A and B are shown apart, each in its own frame.
Chain A
Amino acid sequence: DTGVSQDPRHKITKRGQNVTFRCDPISEHNRLYWYRQTLGQGPEFLTYFQNEAQLEKSRLLSDRFSAERPKGSFSTLEIQRTEQGDSAMYLCASSYTVTENYGYTFGSGTRLTVV
């Protein structure tokens, strides 16, 4: 297994454009998480899936953000009408279940810059 894969690694977009990121988790993991991290801060929870079901969304996740995980495999995170405040590193992580204490395995992240 090659770990958690994220694509693209970097994305520069103009304000107002839509962007979509992809995450391929470790195949044995049934949970998939999206986090956002800005400079000098820790990762901030956005949403998570167990298999194909989206179980929780952060209140910080505005209506411009949507995530899917069709068939419980890869996941996509879409941001519509991007704003400069969306500039951040978007991290995907997968795990069996946190309560089984395996922790997360993170992907390399997608760095978004909105200009």
Chain B
Amino acid sequence: GAGVSQSPSNKVTEKGKDVELRCDPISGHTALYWYRQSLGQGLEFLIYFQGNSAPDKSGLPSDRFSAERTGGSVSTLTIQRTQQEDSAVYLCASSSGQGNSPLHFGNGTRLTVT
């Protein structure tokens, strides 16, 4: 079956512009996560959606970052007024949400802010 799909795979934007990154999770997965990975670094947690519960936004680095999950499926991560330090790979993952279950990752969106 299809895995987690992210689009675009690459995005180059000018400083100050807004960007939207999209994630299509595995069908039926109720939990969805966004992580950020800078060059040569580990994964930094951003936000976590679980079913109809309020999302855990504790990892969002500033109020320029926001995310939505519509209809319990597709998610969009929005970065407003992008800065150069926002350049990174943004990874989306989903899981079944049943007890302890592994996250399945997409291949990420590489964001470059010039």
Q: Do A and B come from one complex?
A: no
Listed in ascending order, the chain B residues whose CB lies under 8 Å from chain A are none
Listed in ascending order, the chain A residues whose CB lies under 8 Å from chain B are none
